[in-house]
Amino acid sequence: MAQIFPKWANQTPLALGAVAAAFGLAAAGFASYYFSPEYTDVGYQPKQPVPYSHALHAGELGLDCRFCHASVELSPIASVPATEVCMNCHHIVKRDSPVLAAIQKSASSGEPMRWVRVHKVPEYAYFDHSAHLAAGVGCASCHGPIHQMDVVRQVEPLSMAWCLECHRNPDNHLRALGEITDMDWQPPANQAELAARFKQDRALSPPEDCSGCHH
Domain assignment of residue 101, yes or no: no
pLDDT of residue 186: 96
Domain assignment of residue 11, yes or no: no
Q: Which tens digit of pLDDT belongs to each residue from 113-166?
A: 999 999 999 899 999 999 999 999 999 999 999 999 999 999 999 999 999 999
pLDDT of residue 17: 75
pLDDT of residue 38: 80
- Tell me the residue range of the domain where 142 lies: 46-80+115-203
Residues 90-115 as b or e (16 or more Cβ within 10 Å = b): beeeeeeeeebebbbebbeeeeebee
Q: Which tens digit of pLDDT belongs to each residue from 32-49?
A: 665 567 868 999 999 999
CA-nearest of 129, 83, 88 to 107 is 83
Domain assignment of residue 70, yes or no: yes
Length of the chain counted residue by residue: 215
Euclidean distance between CA atoms 101 and 115, whole angstroms: 15
Determine the average pLDDT of the residues in 193-210.
Answer: 96
Domain assignment of residue 167, yes or no: yes
Domain count, the chain: 1
Q: Give me the chain's average pLDDT, please.
A: 90
Domain assignment of residue 150, yes or no: yes
Domain assignment of residue 92, yes or no: no
pLDDT of residue 209: 94
DSSP string, 78-136: -----HHHHHHHHTTTTTT-GGGHHHHHHHHH-PPP-PPP-----TTS---HHHHHHHT
For the whole model, what pTM was predicted?
A: 0.82
Domain assignment of residue 110, yes or no: no
Domain assignment of residue 162, yes or no: yes
